[in-house]
Every structure is written in C-alpha cells, then in structure tokens.
Amino acid sequence: MARSTRRPALDAPRGRSGMLQRAPQQQSSDRFGRFSEAFARGMGTSGFLIGMTVFVVVWLAWNTFAPPPLQFDPRATNFTLLTLILSLQASYAAPLILLAQNRQDDRDRVQIEQDRQRAERNLADTEYLAREVVALRMAVNDFADHVVTREVLRSELRLMLDKLEGSDSEPGTAR
C-alpha cells in the first residue's frame, strides 16, 4: 500500500506551491479590494463620464418627449427614479473609491519604507567607500614617504663609493 505524501516545494515561495494557501476570508477580502480598485479606476475614465452623460440625456429625453403611457419616470414626478438610481450609484461609489484609495495608501507606505531602507543602505555603502578611499590615500602617502627614489639611491651609492675610494687611498690599510 503506497502512501501518498505531498512535500512542500522548497524551490517556490509559500503560497505558490499549492500547499500553503491564504485563508479564505483574506482571499475574499483581497478579491473585494481588487474589485473596488477596478471600479474606482473605471469611474475615473472619460468613457465612464461620456457613457453616464449619454445615459442621463437619453433618460431625460425619453421621459420628456415620449408619449405619457411609455414614460417610466415622468417629468411630472421630477424624474424621481433617475434621482434614486444616481443616488444609489453615488452611495456605492464613494466607499469603493475610499477603499481603493486606502489600498493605494498602504502600497505607497510600503514603497516609501523600502525606499528609506534602500537609501540607508546606500548611505552606509557610500560612507564605507569614503573611509576606504581615505585609508588608501593615507597608505599611499605613507608609502611615498618611505619609497627610495632613483636620486636618493644614486646619492647614497656615491657616498659609499667615495668612502670606499677614500679608504683605499689611506695609508696602512690592508686589502
């Protein structure tokens, strides 16, 4: 009897392997959030404004110029049904737009925090590199102070040669 055990995929982040899924409520909340963002994005387009304008103009024209038996929201009642429809649309639109803005604010907050951390790392790296450059400059200056140049070497060799020649010419020196 073979036993089927599923092991989590170690090469994939959690949530992508199929083993570890989000809680249903969080997934539902996220789906509603994405819907509210799509709704808010749609309401902010020129197409929505033009469509809504055409809808209202057709509604008003129909209920003003159509024969009274065909009017479903007569002008005599001050277009009560149209007012109710627009009020209902506005009452749902405002909270959905606010929810979309809150989600965008949360994303912006996370992005700002990541930018701040990146800036701190860049500053630390820059300070480290500046200290390294200063240390290298100091080491090069110290090295330059102790380097024997060609002229110094020649003068030292001449002095030694002069001493040797001087010691050869002195009487009583044995070779």
- Model pLDDT, residue 20: 47
- Model pLDDT, residue 30: 81
The band of 55, judged by pLDDT with boundaries at 50, 70 and 90, is very high
State both tokens at 154. Answer: 């020649």
The band of 174, judged by pLDDT with boundaries at 50, 70 and 90, is low
Average pLDDT for the chain: 83
- Model pLDDT, residue 148: 75
SS3 47: helix
As a whole number of angstroms, the distance between CA 140 and CA 132 comes to 12
37-72 burial, b if ≥16 CB within 10 A, otherwise e? bebbeeeeeeeeeeeeeeeeeebeeebeeeeeeeee
Most confident of 12-16, 24-28, 76-80, 168-172: 76-80
91-148 pLDDT per residue, tens: 988 888 888 888 889 999 999 999 999 999 999 999 999 999 999 998 888 777 777 7
